[in-house]
Chains A and B, each alone.
Chain A
Amino acid sequence: MITKAAGTPAICSSGNRNRSIKSDMDIVIIGLLLGGTYALMAMGLQLQYGVARIMNLANGEVLIAGAFGAFWFFLGTKASPLWSLLFVVPCAFGLNWAIYRVLIVPLVRRSKSQGKLEVDSILATFGLSFFFIGIMVAAFGAQYTDYSYLSEPVFIFGQRYGLNRVVSFGASVILCAALYLWLHKTRAGLALRAVSVNPSAAGLVSINVINASALAFALGGAVTAAGGVLLSMYLTFDASYGVVFTLKALIIVILGGVGDIRGTIVAAFVLGLAETAVATLIDPGLTLAAAYVLFMLVLLVRPQGLFGRRVA
């Protein structure tokens, strides 16, 4: 069942399928399945950057920790890795809450401006990411890791797809919808959106901005780790692979617009489709490069994001 293989971690590790017979429909469906899972992980960074205003460069390491959590759980119990969400999510929530309280709050308190805070928090979380990599290498080793779960075919429009991708997509859609509803239908969710929109006015309506930011940061970490659990069901990863996901999430958040949940979801699908198209039509090795071309185009042409307004 468990395979540990050294090899390039490919985003579209299609294995038994032949690239030449892939139809355009294939690209669209695989792209959408991938994008759906990306949406969840990017929602995590969106909460951390859009609400708590912390660009967390250790975000991807939290995702990989979630993936290791699922792997370890599956190895031990042979039960569905989805069950690992029950402990991965609360652990990631607690860990990220502690990170915000211990590491970030002192930076917030001493920073004179948002720009200064951004530089400080980027440096601090960049350092933190290496700390996490070190811990994970010590705990799980440095080799590529994957496991085989639900790797049986499911047919959509007559084409075969991995059932694990479909299940992962479905779980991601459910979690994204739950998060969206929580943000839009509850008082606590409204408070987080208020902090995202106007932190100084949030204090005037009795929102404790530090506490709300800690909640957003912790929740963001929990959501990202949940994304890691789902991605681990079909991707190969290793302890130092987090930076790739940090940067993917960053691309999605910037492309979708900071603070814009709907933009994030659309941007996640755009990235999923673009990566799949490039991997299929050109070369799987170019997926990351393609993502960066997309990122640079956004920064040059629409720095405010797909749906964002130009700041006057």
Chain B
Amino acid sequence: MLESRNVSVFYGRHRALENVSASISKGEIVVMLGANGAGKSTFLRAIAGQTQKADGGTVLMDGNDITRRPPHEIVETGVALVPEDRGIFADLTVQENLFLGAHPARARALEAQNMQRVLELFPRLKERPKQLVRTMSGGERQMVAIGRAMMSAPSILLLDEPSLGLAPVLCTELFRTLRRIKESGVGIFLVEQNAKQSLAIADRGYLLDNGHIVGADSAAALAKDEKVKAAYLGE
């Protein structure tokens, strides 16, 4: 289980996150909904060690404190982040990106096996291993990004707005793939603006507003909640 307790982040004197506590276990999908600028990306970056956290908060992975660990060590604990800019290596090939995903020591022994699994999830990537990622479409880049993260054999996958910029058909395909990843036992923590599709596949959800958690419930309950409908579902 990955757990944040009272995590706060300041950018200078600006408070981006305050006392955010959330958790995710293996094999579940948890979505965090919030408007632009609510602090969703900041939260994921803080968990993954890319952003400095204020004193007083802790992040635990399977009971181990990873609050002050650098990004490259956090990956080794089984937490993989796909940031909003996808975090891919645009000037390298598809195959090289996937091999880089298996760079963490924890993933090396299972490299061949994970590669097979990723190519099953994204058959498109199998067709062009030598293509430079920067020449690919947005949807294909997202496949490379998630595939790259899956290559590190994560227990928990953190995805920052994976549906951003994707055509509706690709979105549907993406959410279907996420469900398959979950069924393989990986926990997915999703930060999204696409509330409808993400609540449809999620088990639980959090609402983030102005750096604070303002609601937490099962995905089914959130989808019926009047406030959620008004704010995120446009109903």
Give the interface of A toward B (CB within 8 A).
187, 190-191, 193-194, 197-198, 200-209, 259
How far apart sit A201 and B91, CA to CA, in the bound complex (Å)?
13
The answer to whether B70 and A194 have CB atoms under 8 Å apart is no
B104 within 8 A of A: yes
Interface SS of A by simple majority: helix
Give B153 Cβ to nearest chain A Cβ, in Å: 11
Q: What are 8 sample pairs from A and B whose C-beta atoms fall under 8 A apart?
A: A187-B99, A187-B103, A193-B96, A201-B89, A202-B72, A204-B48, A205-B100, A207-B103
The answer to whether A197 and B91 have CB atoms under 8 Å apart is yes
How far apart sit A259 and B90, CA to CA, in the bound complex (Å)?
13
How far apart sit A207 and B101, CA to CA, in the bound complex (Å)?
10
B233 within 8 A of A: no
How far apart sit A5 and B70, CA to CA, in the bound complex (Å)?
55
B114 within 8 A of A: no
Measured between beta carbons, the chain A residues less than 8 angstroms from B89 are 193-194, 197-198, 201
For chain B, the count of residues having a C-beta within 8 Å of the partner chain is: 28
Measured between beta carbons, the chain B residues less than 8 angstroms from A202 are 72
Which of A190, A200, A203, A207 has the most C-beta atoms of chain B within 10 angstroms of its own C-beta?
A203
* Closest 4 A/B residue pairs (Cβ): A203-B71, A206-B104, A201-B87, A206-B75
With A205-B100, A207-B103 already in contact, the answer to whether A198 and B72 are too (CB < 8 A) is no
The answer to whether A203 and B90 have CB atoms under 8 Å apart is no
How far apart sit A257 and B155, CA to CA, in the bound complex (Å)?
39
With A191-B100, A194-B89 already in contact, the answer to whether A208 and B72 are too (CB < 8 A) is yes
B141 within 8 A of A: no
A211 closest partner in B (C-beta): B72
How far apart sit A207 and B87, CA to CA, in the bound complex (Å)?
13
B61 within 8 A of A: no
A203 closest partner in B (C-beta): B71
B102 closest partner in A (C-beta): A205
Give A207 Cβ to nearest chain B Cβ, in Å: 6
How far apart sit A194 and B93, CA to CA, in the bound complex (Å)?
11
Measured between beta carbons, the chain A residues less than 8 angstroms from B91 are 197, 259
Which of A198, A204, A209 has the most C-beta atoms of chain B within 10 angstroms of its own C-beta?
A204
The answer to whether A206 and B50 have CB atoms under 8 Å apart is no
How far apart sit A202 and B101, CA to CA, in the bound complex (Å)?
9
Contact with A along B65-97 (1 / 0, CB 8 A): 000001111011000110100011111100010
Measured between beta carbons, the chain A residues less than 8 angstroms from B96 are 190, 193-194
Of B80, B92, B149, which contacts A194 at CB under 8 A? B92
How far apart sit A7 and B87, CA to CA, in the bound complex (Å)?
54
The answer to whether B83 and A204 have CB atoms under 8 Å apart is yes
A259 closest partner in B (C-beta): B91
Which of B72, B73, B148, B152 has the most C-beta atoms of chain A within 10 angstroms of its own C-beta?
B72
The answer to whether B92 and A204 have CB atoms under 8 Å apart is no
Measured between beta carbons, the chain A residues less than 8 angstroms from B49 are 203
Of B50, B73, B103, which contacts A205 at CB under 8 A? B103
With A187-B99, A200-B50 already in contact, the answer to whether A205 and B104 are too (CB < 8 A) is yes
A-B contacts, CB under 8 A, total: 69
How far apart sit A207 and B103, CA to CA, in the bound complex (Å)?
7
Which of A187, A205, A208 has the most C-beta atoms of chain B within 10 angstroms of its own C-beta?
A205
Measured between beta carbons, the chain A residues less than 8 angstroms from B169 are none
Measured between beta carbons, the chain A residues less than 8 angstroms from B88 are 198, 201
B105 within 8 A of A: yes
How far apart sit A3 and B103, CA to CA, in the bound complex (Å)?
52
With A190-B96, A205-B101 already in contact, the answer to whether A197 and B90 are too (CB < 8 A) is yes
How far apart sit A49 and B91, CA to CA, in the bound complex (Å)?
17
The answer to whether A193 and B92 have CB atoms under 8 Å apart is yes
How far apart sit A201 and B160, CA to CA, in the bound complex (Å)?
14
Which of B71, B80, B152 has the most C-beta atoms of chain A within 10 angstroms of its own C-beta?
B71
Measured between beta carbons, the chain B residues less than 8 angstroms from A208 are 70, 72
Which of B76, B87, B101 has the most C-beta atoms of chain A within 10 angstroms of its own C-beta?
B87
The answer to whether B100 and A203 have CB atoms under 8 Å apart is no
How far apart sit A209 and B149, CA to CA, in the bound complex (Å)?
18
How far apart sit A198 and B80, CA to CA, in the bound complex (Å)?
17
How far apart sit A306 and B21, CA to CA, in the bound complex (Å)?
51
With A187-B103, A190-B99, A191-B103 already in contact, the answer to whether A204 and B87 are too (CB < 8 A) is yes
The answer to whether B92 and A200 have CB atoms under 8 Å apart is no
How far apart sit A204 and B97, CA to CA, in the bound complex (Å)?
12
How far apart sit A203 and B87, CA to CA, in the bound complex (Å)?
10
With A197-B91, A201-B89 already in contact, the answer to whether A206 and B105 are too (CB < 8 A) is yes
Sample of 12 more A-B contacts, CB < 8 Å, known A187-B99, A205-B72, A208-B72: A190-B100, A194-B103, A197-B90, A200-B50, A200-B87, A201-B87, A201-B88, A203-B75, A204-B149, A206-B103, A207-B100, A259-B91
Of B73, B87, B105, which contacts A198 at CB under 8 A? B87
Give A278 Cβ to nearest chain B Cβ, in Å: 34
